[in-house]
Amino acid sequence: MPQGQPSVVPDDGLTTRQRRNRPLVVVHTGTGKGKSTAAFGLALRAWNQGWPIGVFQFVKSAKWRVGEERALRVLGDSGEGGSVAWHKMGEGWSWVQRSIATSEDAAREGWEQVKRDLAAETYRLYVLDEFAYPMHWGWVDTDEVVSVLRDRPGTQHVVITGRNAPAALLDAADLVTEMGKVKHPMDAGQKGQRGIEW
Amino acid sequence: MPQGQPSVVPDDGLTTRQRRNRPLVVVHTGTGKGKSTAAFGLALRAWNQGWPIGVFQFVKSAKWRVGEERALRVLGDSGEGGSVAWHKMGEGWSWVQRSIATSEDAAREGWEQVKRDLAAETYRLYVLDEFAYPMHWGWVDTDEVVSVLRDRPGTQHVVITGRNAPAALLDAADLVTEMGKVKHPMDAGQKGQRGIEW
């Protein structure tokens, strides 16, 4: 739904305009499909608004999200909407010159860069793909993430995806969707296929 | 997850390759956000595979999905991936020359065109955005939809979004995700905002 009537009007001293443009923390979690695809769908709207978009893929394999990456790079290079910067943990993060020993270290390096970019207001939409995992595993401190997000300057929207998003993150988020698995072809013995899974 | 191990191997006489490339009916339903955004995220993967994509928007307002439409049109025109055809009920469907009296008639006209395109194998991915509603309201017969989808020729994937998807459709679908609302800013009095809701 593009626009909507809020069910309550809060007594927070803000104008409707201020409230409307409040920066959001969005979380897509749950065991079903669509967590990341919906985040990249949101990126299409941000691109259409001309916003700079930063994608941080907190996954091991550099092959993941190849379709989304190519599409968003073509959009970012088209000159018609916002810019797109795509950062991959699976390739060792472009800003890290030395080799990174473990996935845990790699996830921490990714988060450190996100913190620097939030402080510098580099992007207006951040897609932190699969970032729920390093928090769930304790590699990145959830309380620190919540604190950094709460205190971030300007109007920066942050979308975080992944199963097992920690409760403290859900508490701090503005919008949380749980993608529930009702039925999946792999349950019926089907393997993933191109164009659908990647 | 781009690839995965199926939990069971069915005794259906198909090779893994045949099973892998089986055309899918995908449904995104539930009261949460992300149903349509995840469908358009899937379209990015289809575009990357070079597939022709047909989007049918079963919504009244022609203003909905403006960001997704512009992004997919730029991608379709880039010559780098698949083509994109975007059809809007809110503008009266381009192939219907006379005026359409009601939303019910408009939804039926949309479904008639989808049937023709499925028979002609016009696209490889169909995004039937908000198509669950006309079925739920009885404007389009769910049993007919299930029958047409079951008998469609070739390798045509179909994604249907919307709340209240009928049970018979879920039974017939290969992949169903329920987007559940955990928390939404409109509950806290916030209105929708550009770049996020549209």
Q: Which helix (H) or strand (E) holds B147?
A: helix B142-150
Residues of B in contact with A38 (CB under 8 A): 33-34, 37-38, 41, 179
Phi, psi of A131 (to 5 degrees): -75, -15
| pLDDT beyond 50 at B2 | no
Q: A-chain residues within 8 Å CB-CB of B193?
A: 20-22, 24
User: What residue type is A61 in one-letter code?
Assistant: S
- Residues A64, A195: Cα–Cα separation, whole Å: 12
Query: With respect to CATH, is domain B22-180 assigned 3.10.520.10?
Result: no
Minimal C-alpha gap between A189 and chain B (Å):
5
pTM of the model: 0.86
Q: Please tell me the distance from the alpha carbon of residue A193 to that of residue A175, in angstroms, as a whole number.
A: 30
The residue in chain A having the minimum alpha-carbon distance to the alpha carbon of residue B32 is A177
Question: Which one is the CATH code of A21-179: 3.40.390.10, 3.40.50.2000, 1.10.3720.10, 3.40.50.300?
Answer: 3.40.50.300
pLDDT tier for residue A52 given thresholds of 50, 70 and 90 = very high
Nearest CB among B24, B183, B196 relative to A42 is that of B196
Domain ranges within chain A, ordered by starting residue: 21-179
* Helices then strands, each counted (H, E), chain B: 7, 6
Of A72, A176, A180, the CB nearest to B183: A176
CB-nearest to B49 from A46, A49, A194 is A194
B67 touches chain A (CB under 8 A): yes
State yes or no: ipTM above 0.85.
no
Place of tokens 């073509």: A74
- Give me the amino acid identity at A16: T
Q: What band does A2 get if pLDDT is binned at 50, 70 and 90? A: very low
> pLDDT tens for residues B94-130?
999 888 889 999 999 999 999 999 999 999 999 999 9
A170: contact with B, CB 8 A cutoff = yes
